[in-house]
Amino acid sequence: MNALDLLERVIPAIDLIDGKCVRLTQGDYARPAFYASTPLDIALRYEAAGLRRLHLVNLDGARDGRLSRLDILERIATRTSLQVDFSGGIRNDDDPRRVLDAGAAWACVGSVACLDPARAASWLERHGDRLIIGADTLDGVIRARGWQEATGLTVFDLVNTHAGRLHHLMCTDISCDGTLAGPNFALYGQLRERFPDLRVIASGGVCDLDDARRLLAGGVSGVIVGKALLEGKIALEELAANDQNPSPC
């Protein structure tokens, strides 16, 4: 796998609380780690390193069910060349369009896909492959509303519900997220085996480039990397150079 593949398929994440860059551990809002740099400054660093995409998450919106922070999305979309997917608080029929109009390449929808599948189906019909369905799982069960509510659905249930309309699935194992302990490789292998035509984006637990390479070699279309980049476990220079030696966590 060459450097261009990694730069195109490794997707850095910026999570927002109160408009500031933050990382949670295992989805726990009581344990936020805030970072001093602004979201735009971080995005600019990722762009300068040659990365192509960005996963921007408004955690306040995800928890409270209200779309906000589109100003930050618009600022990043207009000041960088990054292709941004935006999630958090997309609940109403006009919300996906508002996100796309603010400059996002994709709107990522989680809670509505589980809790109101008919509405999500209409959005998929309307917006096609510019809509990503997000599935945040804990102990095999999808959680909604900013990881606060167990839905009783598995990620496999969700994909089957939207079969024939779904183009992209972003799947996060909450138990791995923010831990730097490694991804749930088995989960993504099962998704690729059962839904070979689905573009799966893996999220949660990536510690180093070896994790990312292994996921990509397993057939996922993209890999979300958050804490490992923010805390220097993966150096931007290493990513661009595509050093073949795995770095220790």
Q: Are 45 and 239 in contact (CB under 8 A)?
A: no
Q: Are 79 and 44 in contact (CB under 8 A)?
A: yes
Q: For residue 218, what are its two tokens?
A: 């397993």
Q: Are 151 and 165 in contact (CB under 8 A)?
A: no
Strand duo 141-144 + 149-150: pairing: antiparallel
Please state, in angstroms and rounded to a whole number, the distance separating the CA atoms of residues 64 and 203.
22
| DSSP-derived secondary structure letter, 238 | H
Closest among 115, 70, 114 to 88, alpha carbons compared: 70
Catalytic residues: 15, 136
Cα–Cα–Cα angle for 2, 12, 34, rounded to 5 degrees: 145
Beta bridge partners of residue 56, listed in sequence order: 14, 86
- Torsions phi, psi for 182 (to 5 deg): 105, 150
Q: Exposed (0-12), middle (13-18) or buried (19+): which is 163, by Cβ within 10 Å?
A: exposed
Please state, in angstroms and rounded to a whole number, the distance separating the CA atoms of residues 240 and 10.
11
